[in-house]
Amino acid sequence: MSADLAAYMDDLGRAARAAATQMAAASTAAKNAALLALARRLREAGPALAEANARDLSRAAELSGPLRDRLKLDAKTLATVAEGCEQIAAMPDPIGEITGVKRRPTGISVGQMRVPLGVFGMIYESRPNVTIEAASLAIKSGNACILRGGSEALHSNLALAELVAASLAEAGLPPAAVQLVNTTDRAAVGLLISRPQWVDVIIPRGGKGLIERIASEARVPVIKHLDGNCHSYVDEAVDLDLAVKVVDNAKTQKYSPCNATESLLVHAAQARAFLPRIAEVFRAKGVEMRGCPRTLALVPGAVAATEEDWSTEYLAPIISIKVVDSLDEAIAHINRYGSHHTDAILTTNHPNAMRFLREVDSASVMVNASTRFADGFEYGLGAEIGISTDKFHARGPVGLEGLTSMKWVVLGQGEVRT
């Protein structure tokens, strides 16, 4: 690793630390003004942004269709992120709110105040819209951030970061509140995750390779946003039309996101009725089906699943399928092979639905809904940092509150402890 890179990362860290102090004290009006300026700039984004994205796309010719799609910054994506900025501006400012104040017998009043985390570092995939979602949530939550997006998206991200910096400056806030690492050198990631003097928390969004590195090298607290091996389970009592519609959406609406269903479990009592119907849908859309022996008997053209398939996140038009004999077996399978991200049950049986919600150990558990809904925008958070697969601090889609913590506030009138 070069001394220049270490110095560069230290410069980013130092600037972020100074900006975080200013952001924590920033007024709601200034933060909202920055967000609205950013929405305007995104809507007006001219050829510079389009050219930067075209440059990234032309260099990423080898990417598969779904991964190319997530790299695209078209008018629809820009309109969506701009709308997200406006929605976040319209939300109440969580910072400074004091809650739960109670008077103690000693005379003091004790409550809690919501405060920013400080500086967060975020490492994420080649999806430029995430740059804006992270930036907008950082601004409203009074944090500073250092963003390291995927290599394929570097030029798009640099162009977006310029819009963010200009919007912050326009609102009288420090442009260094949102900084982008301007190199694809992965050594920069190593530096970002090992500088507790500059970074308060690291948010990795990615797959197993990223997390292995974080696990072995991070010296900063981590909120993991990892892979989604998500399941849809078709229960013994089910509305078959609803199940076909929802499972189809969960698998095929988009193949690349972490919340797409990768594995389908079907109760044996419904396998004969359900599997041929969903198989027809998958076949028409070119989805490869990898099944257990009982699935193979009902689905011509399916191939045998291996043990590895049950724990694989394909991010592609492939699905693993298993017939199970009970809800217990389904829950045990999901807890063993899943990634604790998002799992759904399709059922008309209320007690089974409630058992699934309680016993499946995942960040989002759903009844009769597509796993694709696991998303901050869809949950009403305005945007999302990602979907936390951790259990502490923040779980599932992370929005403004996930970027804050609570400190204790004690109000007295000269009381002393005896």
Ligand X SMILES: NC(=O)C1=CN([C@@H]2O[C@H](COP(=O)(O)OP(=O)(O)OC[C@H]3O[C@@H](n4cnc5c(N)ncnc54)[C@H](OP(=O)(O)O)[C@@H]3O)[C@@H](O)[C@H]2O)C=CC1
Token pair 């998500």: residue = 230
Residue 161 DSSP symbol: H
Count of residues touching ligand X (by CB under 6 A): 24
Residues 362-401 that bind ligand X (CB under 6 A): 386-387, 389
Q: Where are the beta strands (DSSP E) in 186-339?
A: 201-204, 230-234, 261-267, 288-291, 303-304, 318-324
Site string for ligand X, 244-263 (x = CB under 6 A): --------------x-----
Distance (Å, rounded) from C-alpha 380 to C-alpha 377? 5
Taking the least distance from each CB to ligand VHF, the nearer of 52 and 363 is 363
> What proportions of the chain, in percent to the nearest 5, are helix, strand and coil?
45, 20, 35
Instruction: Identify the bridge partners of residue 350 per DSSP, sorted by sequence position.
Output: none
Position 330 contacts ligand X (CB under 6 A): no
Asked if residue 112 lies in contact with residue 398, where contact means CB atoms within 8 angstroms, the answer is: no
Compute the least distance from the CB of residue 51 to ligand X, in Å. Answer: 21
Residue 60 DSSP symbol: T
Asked if residue 368 lies in contact with residue 346, where contact means CB atoms within 8 angstroms, the answer is: yes
Position 150 contacts ligand X (CB under 6 A): yes
Position 140 contacts ligand X (CB under 6 A): no
Question: Of ligand X, ligand VHF, none, which one does residue 213 interact with (CB within 5 to 8 Å by kind)?
Answer: ligand X
Compute the least distance from the CB of residue 62 to ligand VHF, in Å. Answer: 17
Compute the least distance from the CB of residue 35 to ligand X, in Å. Answer: 22
Residue 414: partners with Cβ closer than 8 Å, 6 or more residues away: none
Taking the least distance from each CB to ligand VHF, the nearer of 291 and 399 is 399
| CA 376 distance to own-chain centroid | 7
Position 226 contacts ligand X (CB under 6 A): yes
Residues 171-190 that bind ligand X (CB under 6 A): 184, 186, 189
Question: Of ligand X, ligand VHF, none, which one does residue 248 interact with (CB within 5 to 8 Å by kind)?
Answer: none
Distance (Å, rounded) from C-alpha 183 to C-alpha 167? 23
Token pair of 4 as six digits? 């220049």
Compute the least distance from the CB of residue 56 to ligand VHF, in Å. Answer: 14
Taking the least distance from each CB to ligand X, the nearer of 13 and 204 is 204
Distance (Å, rounded) from C-alpha 58 to C-alpha 55? 5
**How do 364-367 and 342-346 pair as beta strands?**
parallel
Residue number with the smallest Cβ distance to ligand X: 206
Question: Of ligand VHF, ligand X, none, which one does residue 225 interact with (CB within 5 to 8 Å by kind)?
Answer: ligand X
Q: Please, what sign has the CA dihedral across residues 244, 207, 156, 158?
A: positive
Asked if residue 383 lies in contact with residue 396, where contact means CB atoms within 8 angstroms, the answer is: no
Residues that bind ligand VHF in the complex, under the rule CB under 6 A: 70, 125, 127, 256-259, 375, 384
Which of these ranges, 88-96, 224-232, 263-271, 404-412, lies near ligand X under the rule CB under 6 A? Answer: 224-232
Compute the least distance from the CB of residue 106 to ligand X, in Å. Answer: 45
Position 87 contacts ligand X (CB under 6 A): no
Hey, what amino acid is at 309? D
Distance (Å, rounded) from C-alpha 310 to C-alpha 322? 9
Compute the least distance from the CB of residue 65 to ligand VHF, in Å. Answer: 12
Burial class (CB in 10 A: 0-12, 13-18, 19+), 328: exposed
Compute the least distance from the CB of residue 374 to ligand X, in Å. Answer: 9
Distance (Å, rounded) from C-alpha 178 to C-alpha 16? 8
Question: Of ligand VHF, ligand X, none, which one does residue 295 interact with (CB within 5 to 8 Å by kind)?
Answer: none
Taking the least distance from each CB to ligand VHF, the nearer of 343 and 384 is 384
Total residues belonging to the chain: 418
Compute the least distance from the CB of residue 405 to ligand X, in Å. Answer: 20
Taking the least distance from each CB to ligand X, the nearer of 37 and 210 is 210
Residues 276-315 that bind ligand X (CB under 6 A): 313
Any idea of the CA torsion for 96, 97, 99, 105, to the nearest 10 degrees?
40
Position 128 contacts ligand X (CB under 6 A): no
Maximum alpha-carbon separation in the chain = 79
Closest CA to 158 of 131, 123, 125: 131
Question: Of ligand VHF, ligand X, none, which one does residue 189 interact with (CB within 5 to 8 Å by kind)?
Answer: ligand X
Which of these ranges, 5-13, 219-227, 241-249, 279-287, lies near ligand X under the rule CB under 6 A? Answer: 219-227
Question: Of ligand VHF, ligand X, none, which one does residue 313 interact with (CB within 5 to 8 Å by kind)?
Answer: ligand X
Q: Give the interface with ligand X as residue ranges (CB under 6 A).
A: 123-126, 150-151, 184, 186, 189, 205-207, 209-210, 213, 225-228, 258, 313, 386-387, 389
